[in-house]
Amino acid sequence: MSDRFAARSQVAVVGYAHSPVRRHHDVPLGALALDTALAAIADAGLTKDDIDGFTTGSLLPTSGGHASVDGVSVVTANWLAEHLGVNPRFCAGFQGFGQIPGSVTMAVNALATGAADYVVLHRALHNPPRGRYHANPMTRAAGPMQWVAPQGYFGPLSMIALPYNEYLQRFSASRDAMAAVLVEARANGARIPWSYWHEKPITPQDYLDARVIAEPIGVLDCDIPVDGVAAFVLTRADRARDLPHKPVYVAGYAMGSPKRTRLPTHWPLDDIMEAGFEIRRRLEDATGVTVDVIDVPQLYDGFSPFVYFWLESLGLCPVGEAHRFVQEGIDAAAGGLPILSGGGALGNGRMHGVPQMLECYLQLSQRAGDRQLASATVGLACHSSPHFGGAVMYTAEPL
């Protein structure tokens, strides 16, 4: 038993903004990020002169041969601060996957230590204008790629197909079971005005009819690449009480990491699950809250199998049972465990952990409108694979 997280309930989310999510915006990503950050600051009842901290994880999550240009295809914390005309005391980016929990850890730590008083945390996602998102014209495989690309193993669809098939074979599950996850994500995304999939729910048959790319992964198992920006404002709990919206407190966080050297993008099922089990232990130790009391568990779903992996590794259902659990247990409108009530990435577009964090904020601050859940006291926002990402726990009241 380790000590509780010293900054538990010391930091709160106090405002947000979200741009429309589109395949391609007709303004540069940087301009969209500036407008969204300013809207978030206003939503928090602040002005940009109050903001003295910035953080993000800016990585563009594509393996395609795209150049990365700050302000155009990515937006770093430094770029955002500079172009807002702010000279912040604290400005830092998270470098790994799990960009949302990673940048929340940086914001919380900076606020709790007094390195900043008001932090803007943003995430800007870009869909490159030409070519396929992950297609890569590589004809020479140097460095780490030499171990896999000559074999034809390349890119995130093969990466997720292997542990997903390992799951399906080990537990005698059918890929058809995942239709329930897609139907739920899209039903909730259809109710969100900024979602790419607004008013576009799907049926189980739509899922079953969709093209298969890397068996058992089909096109609808993947979130759709988009342009979109979200921004949040965080401050210390004592300052949060003076602001217009009900604060949502950060109870704690836990990150995961791979334990073994593997081939590039080789993610065996047991590596993923082992890290997920550890994230649960770390979260419970840090917060003193057990996962069974979480009533807004927003699981990451950038590829649909992550929903199974998070459900089982967090202990929200027994190992090997997620493919059955999702058939009856996750319909938020019918009182099921609302793991995708915010639509997730499958129901919003590739916003990379934003839908999970935002849904925790909206539900726990009672700002979810007609999607408001009857019970919203403890939220969990997961992002990425457990072994490269993490999770942040939020509460409606300080612990």
Partner 1 sequence: MHKPVPVPDPTSEAYWAAAAEHRLALARCGHCGRLTHPPDVVCPHCLSTDPGFTFEPVDGRGTVRSWTVLRDSFLPGFAEDIPFVLVDVELDVQADLRLIGRLVDGPDTPLRLGDRVVTVFDARDDGPPVPAFSLDPTAEGAR
Asked if 148 is part of the footprint of partner 1 (rule: CB under 8 A), the reply reads yes
Edge-first strand listing for the sheet containing 296-298: 90-93, 53-56, 118-125, 228-236, 11-18, 248-255, 390-395, 378-383, 296-298
Q: DSSP code of 284?
A: H
Shortest Cβ 267–partner 1 spacing (Å): 10
Report how far Cα 61 is from the mean position of its chain's Cα atoms.
12
Shortest Cβ 28–partner 1 spacing (Å): 27
Q: Which residue in 114, 129, 150, 244 binds partner 1 (CB under 8 A)?
A: 150
Q: With respect to partner 1, which residue has the nearer C-beta, 45 or 64? A: 64
Q: With respect to partner 1, which residue has the nearer C-beta, 120 or 322? A: 322
> Using CA atoms, how far apart are residues 160 and 215, in angstroms rounded to an integer?
10
Token reading at 173: 């599950």
Asked if 257 is part of the footprint of partner 1 (rule: CB under 8 A), the reply reads no
> Using CA atoms, how far apart are residues 284 and 219, in angstroms rounded to an integer?
35
Token reading at 234: 């965080």
Asked if 198 is part of the footprint of partner 1 (rule: CB under 8 A), the reply reads no
Residue 375: HSE in the Cβ half-sphere, 13 Å Cα cutoff: 9
**x-or-dash string of contact with partner 1, 31-70, rule CB under 8 A:** --------------------------------xx------
Helix (H) / strand (E) element for 248: namely strand 248-255
What values do phi and psi take at 325, rounded to 5? -55, -40
Residue type, 11: V
Asked if 117 is part of the footprint of partner 1 (rule: CB under 8 A), the reply reads no
Q: With respect to partner 1, which residue has the nearer C-beta, 89 or 260? A: 260
Q: Which residue in 85, 139, 193, 238 binds partner 1 (CB under 8 A)?
A: 139
Q: What angle do CA 88, 72, 142 make, to 5 degrees?
A: 105
Asked if 143 is part of the footprint of partner 1 (rule: CB under 8 A), the reply reads yes
Asked if 27 is part of the footprint of partner 1 (rule: CB under 8 A), the reply reads no
> Using CA atoms, how far apart are residues 271 and 268, in angstroms rounded to an integer?
5
Q: With respect to partner 1, which residue has the nearer C-beta, 154 or 194? A: 154
**x-or-dash string of contact with partner 1, 338-377, rule CB under 8 A:** ----------------------------------------
Asked if 276 is part of the footprint of partner 1 (rule: CB under 8 A), the reply reads no
Shortest Cβ 24–partner 1 spacing (Å): 20
Helix (H, G, I), strand (E, B) or coil at 158: helix
Q: Which residues bind partner 1 (CB under 8 A)?
A: 63-64, 132, 134-155, 157-158, 161-163, 165-166, 169-170, 211-217, 260-263, 266, 268-269
